[in-house]
Structure formats: C-alpha cells, structure tokens
Chain A
Amino acid sequence: AQKVTQAQTEISVVEKEDVTLDCVYETRDTTYYLFWYKQPPSGELVFLIRRNSFDEQNEISGRYSWNFQKSTSSFNFTITASQVVDSAVYFCALSVPLENQFYFGTGTSLTVIP
C-alpha cells in the first residue's frame, strides 16, 4: 500500500525565515513519482515539482529547494527567505505507474507572518 505522511500540521514563521516542510512516504514499488503541490485559500492545487524514484538529485528553483532521500523515504521541501505570499497549505503526493491515482498527505499549513 502507498502512504504519505506529513507530520507537521501547521507551521508559522516570520517573513524572511527559512522553513522546511517534511514528507515521508511508503511504497513497495521501485518506480514511483513524488510531487509537491501548493494550495492557496482559493483552493486550486498548484503543481510545484515532480521527482521520479531514480533521480535523487536535489533541485533548486528560486527560493524553493527539494531534498529527496530514498534511504529515509523522505522528500522534504525548503522555502528560503519566506514571504507572505508563501502562506498556503502544501501537500506532498505519491503516485506509482500501475495505479492511476495520487496519494496525498494531510498537508502542512504554512503561515508567514509579516
């Protein structure tokens, strides 16, 4: 069975602080994909990143960076120099090729205080 755990329910940081959102996944499949989505108050899920299980390279996109570690089944997301516009709920998700669905974590609500 597939499972995604986001242990942090809510996080508050002061603007310009760095923040890391944790994601731990469980799967027995050797091929899988990991995703991060941002959900602002409007409700739409905004795609941030996709990684496949064979590519453990960390990725940086502007103030966003992702740390994928298969040894610990984690796919953590760091926002550097946080801004008020980063306030949202962030979801980590897992999919496997033979199952046509995404498995989402319960989300982490991030509040950036000005």
Chain B
Amino acid sequence: DAGVTQSPTHLIKTRGQQVTLRCSPKSGHDTVSWYQQALGQGPQFIFQYYEEEERQRGNFPDRFSGHQFPNYSSELNVNALLLGDSALYLCASSLRFEQYFGPGTRLTVT
C-alpha cells in the first residue's frame, strides 16, 4: 500500500516565478492538507481540500492556491514567489483524525 507521495522532491525557482507541487494521498484517504515548514520551525497549515473544495485555510496569502482532483490527488500552486517562500512543503492525507505525511518538496527561491 503506497503512502503519501509528493513530486518533485526538490525545486529551485527564481523570485517572481510560479510553482506547482503535486501530492497523491494514501490509498483510501479523501482529504488532503498542505503545510509549509520553514527551516527550524514546525509545519504551518496552508489549506485543506475535501471533495474537490477548499474546506479550510490557514493564514496564507492568496498567492497560495490549490486544487483537488476527482482521484483525490492535489496540487499546490504558489504565484509570484518570494524568497520567504523557501521551505519544505508537506502534503498530508487523512481519514478521520489521523494525518499521514508525504516526504515533502523542498522549494528554494533564489
């Protein structure tokens, strides 16, 4: 049974560019959440998708947007990248009250 998968593993972008990160949830999970983890910090909640709709959103600007597909996979899009967007982006899939995390995508903005 595959766990949560994310792609790409690493990404380097230039300030002002746009990026798309992808996540496939654990089999049987219908909910996907995205977190940003800056260096030395705990993960911060960006948003959660359920039934292809954004169900809840954390304190992140509109530059951060997402999408969930009918197969429950999800994308995180970040527009107009800033240096401060450099972080590990974690995807978590869940069923009820447990979340399982993917390995993350490390984004570096230069």
Known: A33-B97, A50-B97, A97-B97. Contact between A43 and B106, CB under 8 A? yes
**A22-48 CB contacts (< 8 Å) to partner B:** 33, 37, 42-47
Interface string of B31-56 (1 = CB under 8 A from A): 10101000011111100101000011
The DSSP consensus for interface residues of chain B is strand
**Can you list 19 contacts pairing A with B, beta carbon distance less than 8 Å?**
A4-B42, A43-B88, A43-B106, A44-B101, A44-B102, A45-B90, A47-B100, A47-B101, A91-B43, A100-B56, A101-B45, A101-B56, A102-B33, A102-B43, A102-B99, A104-B42, A104-B43, A107-B40, A107-B42
Q: Which B residues form the contact surface with A (CB < 8 A)?
A: 31, 33, 35, 40-45, 48, 50, 55-56, 58, 88, 90, 92, 97-104, 106
Known: A33-B97, A50-B98, A101-B56. Contact between A43 and B104, CB under 8 A? yes
Using C-beta atoms within 8 Å of the partner chain, give the interface range for chain A.
20 to 34
A37→B101 contact, CB < 8 A:
yes
A80 CB within 8 Å of chain B: no
A95 CB within 8 Å of chain B: yes
